[in-house]
Amino acid sequence: MNLEAKTMESKILSSDTWKAPGAKALIINNIKKTWPIWAAELFFLSWLIPVSLTFDIIYGHSYLNLEVPFDIAKFLLVPACVLMAMKVFGYLMKEKSTTFFHSLPFTRTKLFAVNAVSGFLLIIIPLLLVGIASVIIAAVKGHNIIIYGIEWFLVLCCDCIYVYGSTILIAIIFGNKISGYAMTAILFFYVEIIVNIFNSLFSNLHSSVSYMFIFPRGFFQFLSPISLVTNTYVSSAYWTTNETNYYFKNLAFTVTEELIVGALMIVAAFLLYRYRKSERSGELIAFSSFKLVFKWGFALSFGAFLTMFLGETVIGSIEIQSTINIVQTILFVFFVVLSYLIAEMILQKKFNVFYKLRFEILLPFAASIAVALVLLFDVFGITRYIPDKDDIENLNVNINLNYEDPYTEKFGPYYFINLNGEKLSEYEKIDTFLDLHKGIIADDPDSFSQNRTGYNKYVISDKATEDYDAMVHIWYNLKDDTNITRMYYVPYGYVEKYLDKMETYNDVPVTTGLLQ
Amino acid sequence: MIRVENVEKSFDGLKALDGISLTVEKGSVYGLVGPNGAGKSTIIKHLTGVYKADKGEVSINNEPVYENPRIKEKISYIPDELFFINRASVKQMMKFYRNIYKDFDMERFEKLKDVFSSININKPICKLSKGMQKQAAFWLTICCNPEIIILDEPVDGLDPVMRRQVWSLLLQDVAERSTTVLVSSHNLRELEDVCDTVGILNKGKMMLEKSLSSLQGSVVKYQVVYNGEAPELKDKLDILHVQNNASVYTYIIRGEAKMIEDVLRSFQPVILDVIPLTLEEIFIYELGGEDYGIKDIII
C-alpha cells in the first residue's frame, strides 16, 4: 500500500471510529442474539439477592449473611461473561458470518469497539439493576448498604472485565467455536494444569521429592485467571437487627490487578482483531504464528502429562526401581514427539502428517531431550535450593516414621512421630532444621531411595545400610509471603541424629515403640 | 469506477490471486468468469473490503476499499453463500440495513413487496427456501440504493421468471442511476445478455478482459465444406479448435473476421458459413489453450 493509501486508512480510523451510524444496528443485534444470557443472569442474580432479601424482610429474619450470595453471584458471572464474549464475537467463528460483518461499512476498530462495549454492558446492566434493587430493599429494612453495594458492584465489574476480556482474546485468536470454548476452559486453569503436570513429571524423575510443591504457582498465580478471580480479596457482610457489618480486604489490590490484566487482555484482543484475516475464520487457530505456540505448548504439556500418567500408573506399580528415571526420560521424549504429531493432526484435520513433518519432528525431539535433561539433572537446582535464613519468616517440620513388623512381616503398626504444630520463628530453632535440610541436600536425596510408594522397608544406596524409611517434610514461610515446601524420603538412621534436637519441640516420646 | 491493480493474495502458500488487474467503468455491468478455483470469489472479497491484498491495490472512486466505511457504504454485496443475522426475518433485516445504510429506500422496499410477493416478511429467512432467501437478498440489496452492486453467483436457485425479474430490476438501476454491477457467474448464457465487459480469470490471473462485443468479434466460428482435402491452416490462422464431421469442418479461430474469411475463401470451399459464437464457447476454447479444455475422456 502506498503512502497515500496509508494516510487514508489512518484518517478513516481516527474520524469514523466512534460515530454513531451503524452502531445502533450492531447493538440491537447483540441485545437480540444474547438475550438468553443476560435474561438468565438477571433472573438468577435477582433470585439470589433482592428477592431473597425481600423474603428476609417479610419473614423478619434478624440475621443475614451476604457473603454466600455474593460468592455465588461471582461464579454465575464467570460463565455469563464467557458465553457473552463468545456470542458477541461468535461471527468470527464462521467464514460466512465473518464475510457478512466485514463487508458492512464499518472499520474493524468500530466493529470491535461496539461489540466489546455492548457485550460488556449487557453483562453489567443486570448486575447494576440487581445492586440498586438490593440497596433499596435493604433501606426499607433500615440498613444503609450503599457503600457496600458500590464496592460489591465494583469488584464484580472488575471480575467481569477480566473474564470477559480474556474470553474475547481467545475468541479472536481461535477460529472456531469448539477450539474457542475448549481454550477458554483451558485458559482459566492453564497455570494449574501446567504447574501440576510438570510437578508430577519432575517428582517422577526425582523420587525423593514430593511433586506438589516443586514449581509453586508463585509468580504464575498472577497469570492464572482462576486464582485471580477467586483468591485476591476477602469479604464479609452480615446484618443483624441492629447492626450492618461489612468489609472488603484487599479491595484496591483486587480492583487494580483485575482492571490492569483485563484491560491488557482487551487491548491485546483489539490489536489482534485488526490483523486477523477474515479468511482464517472457521480454522482452529486464526493466526499462523499461534499455531506454533499451540503445537509446542500441546507437545510439551501433553507429552509431560502422558509421561506422568504412565509413570504414576504403570511404571510406578511394576517398580522398575533404579531404571525409572531413564525409562521416564525416554518416555517423555517419545510422548512429546507423539504429542507434536497429534497437535499437527488436530491442526490439519488429517492423520497423515508424519511424512510432511519428518524433518520438523527433530526439533521437538531435541527440545524434549533438553527439557528431560534439565528436569533430570535439576539444572536450576530446585531440589538443592534452601532459602536464606534472613528470608525465612517461620517454618514447620514433620518427620514421619514407619517400620516393618519383624514377626508378622507386615507393615505397621505405624509408630509415628510428628514434630510440628508450631511455626518456628526463633532463629536458633530455625538453624537446627536448616542444618537438617542442608545435610539431606549435601548427601543427595535422590540417592536415598527409589521407592516412593510408601514408607516401606527398602534397601538404601551406598550411603547407608538396610534401614527404615523416614519422611521429612519441611515447609518454609518466607518474608515475601511465598512459601517453599520440600518432602524427602530418607533413611531413618539419617535423621536419627536430629531426633533428640527435635524432641525439644515436641512432647511425644520419639523412640517409643519405634526401636523396641 | 472500480480499479484493481496487480493484486496478489496467497492462502497458506497457495497463490489465489497472482497480480490480477481489472477495471470496471461506472454504470457498466462487468461479468467475471472463470473455472472453479480461478479466484473469482477471492477478488470479490477484496472488492467488498473483506480481504486485504498481500500486494497491489483495490480502489473504488480512487479510494482504497479496505477499512474504508465511506466507500463500503456505496457497495452492496450478495455472496455465493448467503448469511442473515440470527433467525432474522426480512423485516428485521430491513431494519438492520436501514440503520447501517443511510441511503436505504423504504419507499422502494414497500413497492418491491409486489415483486417479491411470495416472501413472508415476518418469517425467519432461514426458514425460507433457498430461492426465496436469494430473492430476499436481492430485495434488501436493491433497497440499499448502492452505487455498486457485487454479486457472486447471484441467480443460483432462482426460477427463470424470478431471474428475469431480478435482472430487470438491476438493469433498471444501471440505466437510471448509473449503478455499477460486477457479477461472477458460471451461467455464461445469462451474462451474455447483460454484461458490457467480461473478464476471464484462470489460476489467479486475468486471462482476458474485453467488452463483450469485441470479445465476440475477436473469436469466430466457421463451418466449412471443401472440395476435396482440407487445407493445412495452422500456419495461416490462430485456430483454437477444429472439429471434423465427414466433410464438414468446424473451426473456432481467433482473429479479425474479415481476414479469416478471406483466408478460408482462398481455398474455394463449397460451403462457408459463419456461426454465432456464444460466450460459453469463447470461455471453453480460450481456456482450452490454458490446459483447461474439455478432454475427450472415454471410461
Residue A108 with chain B: CB contacts under 8 Å? 67
Contact between B151 and B183 under an 8 Å Cβ cutoff? The reply is yes
CB-CB neighbors (< 8 A) of B63 in chain A: 8
Q: Which of B64, B97, B102 sits opposite A9 (nearest CB)?
A: B64
B20 and B103, same domain (yes or no): yes
> Above 60 in pLDDT, residue A409?
no
Rounded to a whole number, what is the distance in Å from the CA of B211 to chain A's nearest CA?
A: 28
For chain A, the domains span 17-276, 292-376, 389-503
Name which of A9, A25, A103 is nearest B99 (Cβ-Cβ): A25
Nearest to B67 among A12, A98, A277 (CB): A12
Of A322, A450, A474, A459, nearest in space to A404 by CA? A459
If 0-12 CB within 10 Å is exposed, 13-18 middle and 19+ buried, where does residue A120 land? buried
- B50 within some domain: yes
Structure confidence at residue A454 (pLDDT) = 38
**For residue B57, which of B20, B31, B30, B32 has the smallest C-alpha distance?**
B20
Of B11, B63, B100, the CB nearest to A104: B100
- Last residue in a domain, options B203, B236, B256: B203
Q: Which residues of A have a CB under 8 Å from any CB of B?
A: 1-2, 5, 8-9, 12-13, 16, 21-22, 24-25, 28-29, 32-33, 96-100, 102-108, 110, 277-279
Same-domain status, B39 and B129: yes
Q: Give the DSSP letter of residue A162.
A: H
Does residue B96 belong to the interface with chain A, where contact is any CB pair within 8 Å? yes
Q: What is the pLDDT of residue B279?
A: 75
Please tell me the distance in Å from B192's CA to the nearest CA on chain A. 28
Whether A446 has a pLDDT exceeding 80, the answer reads no
Residues B199 and B243 in one domain: no
pLDDT, tens only, B13-71 = 889 999 999 999 999 999 998 888 889 999 999 999 999 999 999 999 999 999 999 99
Is residue B155 domain-shared with residue B238, that is, in the same domain? Answer: no
Task: Tell me if B83 and A100 make a contact (CB, 8 A cut-off).
Answer: yes
In a domain, B209, yes or no: no
Optimal mutation site among B58, B68, B153, interface A, most CBs of chain A within 10 A: B68
Mark yes or no for CB contact B100/A21 under 8 Å. Answer: yes
Q: What SS3 class is residue A126?
A: helix
**pLDDT, averaged across chain A:** 74
At A400 the pLDDT is 67
CATH of the domain at B28: 3.40.50.300
SS3 B175: helix
Residues B172 and B40 placed together within one structural domain of the fold:
yes
Cα–Cα distances (Å) from A61 to A133, A141, B264, B272, in that order, read 19, 10, 109, 107
B210 inside domain: no
- Alpha-carbon distance of B80 to A162, in angstroms, equals 39
**For chain B, what is the domain count?**
2
pLDDT digits (tens, 9 = 90+) for B240-250: 888 888 888 88
Distance from CA of B284 to the nearest CA of A (A): 30
Nearest to A99 among B45, B68, B100 (CB): B45
CA torsion, ordered A454, A457, A458, A464, to nearest 10 deg: 120
Q: How confident is the model at residue A7 (pLDDT cuts 50, 70, 90)?
A: very low
- pLDDT of residue A411 exceeding 60, the answer is no
Assign A324 a pLDDT band (cuts: 50, 70, 90): low
Q: Which of B45, B75, B86 sits opposite A33 (nearest CB)?
A: B86
pLDDT digits (tens, 9 = 90+) for B154-190: 877 788 888 888 889 999 999 999 999 999 987 777 7
* Inter-chain residue contact A21 with B52, CB threshold 8 Å: no
Q: Are strands B29-33 and B180-184 parallel, antiparallel or unpaired?
A: parallel
Bridge partners, A285 (sequence order): A174
Q: How far is A482 from chain B (nearest CA, A)?
A: 47
d(CA A394, CA A343): 45
Cβ neighbours of B11 in A, within 8 Å: 279
Q: In sequence order, what E strands does A138-264 have? A: 234-239, 244-249
Residue with cell 519422611: A471
Give the bridge partners for B24, in sequence order: B2
The answer on B127 and B61 residing in a single domain is: yes
A13-22 per-position pLDDT tens digit = 444 544 556 7
- Say whether both B177 and B40 belong to one domain: yes
- How are beta strands B197-202 and B55-60 bridged, if at all? unpaired
Out of A12, A96, A107, the one facing B81 most closely (by C-beta) is A96
Distance from A260 to chain B by nearest Cα, in Å? 29
In this complex, the residue of B66, B72, B95 whose CB is nearest that of residue A105 is B72
Q: Which of A35, A99, A100, A102 to mutate to test the interface with B (most CBs of B within 10 A)?
A: A99
Q: Could you tell me the CA-to-CA distances from B276 to A71, B161, B195, B253 in Å, in that order?
A: 80, 26, 17, 12
Report the mean per-residue pLDDT for chain B: 86
Whether B183 and B227 map to the same domain: the answer is no
Lowest mean pLDDT among A187-201, A374-388, B224-238, B282-296: B282-296
Nearest CA of chain A to the CA of B50: how many Å? 5
Q: Taking the CB of residue B110, how many other CB atoms lie within 10 A of it?
A: 10
Domain around B26: 2-203
Residue contact A100–B79, C-beta within 8 A: yes
**Nearest residue on chain B to A26, judged by CA atoms?**
B96
Note whether B86 contacts A105, CB cutoff 8 Å: no
**Hunting for cell 509415628 — which residue is that?**
A416
ipTM over 0.90: no
pTM of the model: 0.74
Q: What is the percentage of chain B residues whose pLDDT exceeds 90?
A: 40
CB proximity list for A222: less than 8 A, separation 6 or greater: A228, A257, A261
Q: Which residue of B has its CA nearest to A22?
A: B100
Whether residues B250 and B177 share a domain: the answer is: no
